[in-house]
Chains A and B, each alone.
Chain A
Amino acid sequence: MLSVPFDEMESKDGIRPPYRNISQWIEETGTELLLRRREEAEAIFRKIGITFAVYGEGGDPERLIPFDLVPRAFSANEWKILDTGIRQRARALNAFLYDIYHRGEIIKAGVIPAELVYENKAFLPEMIGFEPPGRVYSHIVGIDIVRTGPDKFQVLEDNCRTPSGVSYMLENREIMGRMFPQIFSGGPVRPVDHYPNELLRTLKEVAPAANSGDPTVVLLTPGSLNSAYYEHSFLADLMGIELVEPQDLFVDEAKVWMRTISGPQQVDVIYRRIDDSYLDPLTFRPDSVLGVPGVFDAYRAGNVTICSAPGAGVADDKAIYVYVPDMIRFYLDQEPVLENIPTWQCGKPDECKYVLENIQDLVVKEVHGSGGYGMLIGPKSSKEEIAAYGERIKANPSEFIAQPTLDLSTAPTLVETGYEGRHVDFRPFCLVGRTIRLVPGGLTRVALKKGSLVVNSSQGGGVKDTWVLQE
């Protein structure tokens, strides 16, 4: 029962203003040339090595994410709304994390049920009472946003741990600039290439108080087999910092050191792109050989800053998501600029009943799932699939949430016969240090299959360059 989704380029009054240049450019370039240039773009991506790994599927171990040549555009006014809403949300999420690891005011006030926080798998009792520099837990907040109407932006989910994809934001722009320099002439599009500088500034701001002088920042990657390794090396490169693997670091006297050719060198800030559970085998996973033994003690001793903070994952849990608008009201005393999507929590009996009765119209997700795996899209599933999923919900209701099937906006996307609208979402990357920074742009993901709503790269999604236009 899908109605006609909002198309970002074409309205009944003609081409919408933010897309005027794009529409004209498509017209002038012609489908044939665009298709040819798409192949060139793919060759460039392949050559540079911007790939991601897909686990357990065989085939090409280093796969490309398809790049759609047609940019997605926001007007200056649209961006103003997004910018305010994103910053607001990032602040509230960090305030929430500080609160739950300290006095727990929001729980005492009865806004959020205690068990959702304290029994959450991502909640780390070891973090209670600890004061991270700047009181920041999530330094890079990736907020997934969908558009459902001309003025309607809604948040699909928050990513407070290690959101990935920012390298695509940068590379997509780079490729577009390389291939079609003329469409950027006159500067109609706000640049995004200062993101790495802003990120480094953010990371340096949260160096331990004990550090005087220029802090040493490193990016900690699980290694070159990780699916996001390209992004790790790309960011480290642009920030001019060392890309380290766990075995390059060690802890001595509660300080973190990296092994260099001239001996140990102290590390002040770790931008980690590995999960909490692999961070420190001494604290989190005694069975793990991965990680840096003792790094958590060094962190607690105030000798190193870990970004994002261990335990930040509580804030981006799908069960907590429901309460983010309340957090904004509670901590900031403001009305949320970006709405949530109405969400039914199957953990609540009456809401669970509603979900089971209307499952054919809903999208059901696992509370701890990510990447588009393990979800059910009611209108696109068979009776058998729905029945089987219903049984899973009944067996473990609190593990599921449900949302209405959304009319995600569509944006023009290159196809063999020209262009057609495809569903898109949007992930900006908000930086939180002593101040909040947001580069005008982000990653637009597009579901390349006609009618599909799944934009995840692991399931056939592609990416687009995202334009924020000058006033």
Chain B
Amino acid sequence: MLSRAAENLFWLGRYMERAESTARIISMGQRMAMLPGTPGRSEWTSVMQTTGAEMPEDEMASELDVVKRLILDPEGPSSIQACLLRARDSGRAVRTGLTQEMWESLNEDWRYLESLDELTARSQLSKVLEWVRKKSAYFRGAVDTAMLRNEGYYFLRLGSSIERADMTLRLLNVKYFLLLPETEVVGGGRDHHQWMSVLHAVSGLRSYHYHYGSDYAPWNIADFLLLNKIFPRSLAFCYSQIDLCLSHMETDHGGSHKCQKTARQELERLNRIDISGIFNDGLHEFINEEIARTSRISQEVSDAYHF
């Protein structure tokens, strides 16, 4: 496989995942902004922080800022339109590496967001976000049902797993203070709803209850998002996928690379530690460390496969 093709598939996976992540984070902001007692624009501000988007000058973001910068901006790093355009460009550059359905899922309605103006997008925000989620589900379905399980597939999965791990970490990075024990004292209705919104953003509400019962406890939520082995958006699960993809690459193409070693060590570590240890050492520090490690793996992958 051409290195350029591997690179494009890797980024195709990342951009599609990122478009969906941004949509999920905006949905979360929408829910939080509906809670009574939400001070001004703070929730939209934290949405912008989570995605790493450029902030307005007064450091406070409105719903309209979010629509402008995270949905309709053709260039921002996390903007949905930009991600979908880049995903399509990456896909177009490796047309031969995609199945027909994958390409159709990328190409269909590809100018839809371009056709929306800010006010329309804002007034139809839920519909627009739903469109993004459907589009990414269509893409994922097309990958799942028809793509050969060869190196192309593993590069794509690798990209999406790395992006997904990153998104879960960023979400926690912005909302980690909600999970710190001292907030439990303050606690009450608002926190409860905020946690629900976080779980909602990762589609984990029902899974959480299934696994941990009905109570929201900060350490359970942190455990769910970081260490749970069967929840597909947890950090540990994402790393099991990263490790799986890299192991396949190792088997098929030989050569043990640094990225493989890093991923395996990280997976073993996540399987070993428990959540109380993380809280003892500091949740925030742990998250920052993981964000750095995830971005390092991405770099090590491109070094190993010459892109």
Query: B107 touching A48 by the CB < 8 A rule?
Result: yes
Main secondary structure of the interface of B (DSSP, over half): helix
Let me know if A233 is at the binding interface, CB within 8 A.
yes
A242 to B4, CA, bound (A): 11
Cross-interface CB contact of B306 among A46, A245, A261, cutoff 8 Å? A261
User: Which residue in chain A gives the minimum CB-CB distance to B89?
Assistant: A224
A247 touches B93 (CB 8 A): no
Report how far A245 CA is from B7 CA in the complex, Å.
14
B2 in contact (CB, < 8 A): yes
- Residues of A within 8 Å of B89, CB to CB, are 224
- A48 touching B96 in the complex, CB below 8 Å, given contacts A224-B89, A248-B4, A261-B253: no
Contact B100 A48 (CB under 8 A): yes
Residue pair B95, A260 in contact (C-beta under 8 Å): no
Q: Is A149 an interface residue (CB 8 A)?
A: no
Select which of B2, B100, B249 is within 8 A of A242 by beta carbon: B2
Are the C-beta atoms of A243 and B96 separated by less than 8 Å? yes
0 or 1 for each of B253-272: is its CB under 8 Å from A? (1 = yes): 11100000000000000000
Q: B107 near A261 (CB under 8 angstroms)?
A: no
- What sequence of 0s and 1s flags, for each residue 247-273 of chain A, a beta carbon within 8 Å of any chain B beta carbon? 110000000001111110000000000
CB of A260 within 8 A of CB of B3, answer yes
Chain A residues lying within 8 Å of B92, measured Cβ to Cβ, are: 49, 224, 229, 233
Residues A224 and B3 in contact, CB atoms below 8 Å apart: no
**B186 contacts across to A, CB distance below 8 A:** none
Q: Is A261's CB under 8 angstroms from B96's CB?
A: no
State which of A233, A248, A258 has its C-beta within 8 Å of the C-beta of B96: A233
Whether the Cβ atoms of A48 and B305 lie closer than 8 Å is no
Q: Check B103–A49 contact: CB distance below 8 A.
A: yes
Of chain A, the residue at the smallest CB distance from B3 is A259
Give the Cβ gap from B99 to chain A, nearest Cβ, in Å.
10
A47 cross-chain contacts in B, Cβ below 8 A: 104, 107-108
The 8 A CB mask of B123-138 against A (1 = contact, 0 = none) is 0000000000000000
Most buried by A among B92, B108, B249: B92
- Contact pattern, A 290-329, Cβ under 8 Å of B = 1, otherwise 0: 0000000000000000000000000000000000000000
Q: Is the CB–CB distance between B4 and A259 below 8 Å? A: yes
Per-residue contact bits, chain B 35-69, to A (CB 8 Å; 1 contact, 0 not): 00000000000000000000000000000000000
Q: Which residues of B contact A229 (CB under 8 A)?
A: 92
* A261 adjacent to B104 (CB under 8 Å): no
Q: Taking the complex as formed, is A237 at the interface, i.e. its CB lies under 8 A from any CB of chain B?
A: yes
A260 proximity list for chain B (CB < 8 A): 1-3
Within 8 A of B (CB), among A216-246: 223-224, 229-230, 233-234, 236-237, 242-245
The answer, among A243, A245, A248, A262, for a CB contact under 8 Å with B95, is A243
Residues of chain A with a CB closer than 8 A to B5's CB: 242
Given A248-B2, A260-B1, A261-B253, does the pair A237, B96 have CB atoms closer than 8 Å? yes
Q: Are A233 and B255 in contact (CB under 8 A)?
A: no
Please tell me the number of chain B residues within 8 Å of chain A, measured between CB atoms.
25
Residue B151 at the A interface, CB < 8 A? Answer: yes
Chain A residues, Cβ within 8 Å of B108: 47
Please indicate the chain B residues that have their CB under 8 angstroms from the CB of A262 in the complex: 1, 253-255
How far apart are the CA atoms of A229 and B306 in the complex, in Å?
Answer: 25
- CA of A230 to CA of B91, assembled, Å: 12
Chain A residue, CB-CB nearest to B109: A47
Task: Decide yes or no whether B222 CB sits under 8 A from chain A.
Answer: no
By beta carbon, the residue of chain B nearest A48 is B104
Q: Which of B3, B93, B95, B100 contacts A261 (CB 8 A)?
A: B3
Bound: A243/B98 CA distance, A? 12
Given A47-B108, A224-B93, A233-B95, are A261 and B1 neighbors across the interface (CB < 8 Å)?
A: yes
Judged by a CB distance under 8 angstroms, whether B6 is at the interface is yes
* Min C-beta distance of A173 to chain B, whole Å: 16
In the complex, which residues of chain A have a beta carbon less than 8 angstroms from the beta carbon of B103?
A: 48-49
Query: What is the distance, in angstroms, from A284's C-beta to the closest C-beta of chain B?
Result: 24
Most buried by A among B2, B5, B94: B2
Report the Cα distance A245→B4, complex, angstroms: 9
12 more CB-based (< 8 A) A-B contacts, given A233-B95, A260-B3: A48-B107, A49-B104, A224-B93, A230-B95, A234-B95, A243-B95, A244-B2, A259-B306, A260-B2, A261-B1, A261-B306, A261-B307
* Chain B residues near A (Cβ < 8 Å): 1-6, 89, 92-96, 100, 103-104, 107-108, 151, 249, 253-255, 305-307
> Can you pick out 9 interface pairs between chain A and chain B where the beta carbons lie within 8 Å of each other?
A48-B103, A48-B107, A49-B107, A224-B89, A229-B92, A236-B95, A261-B151, A262-B253, A262-B255
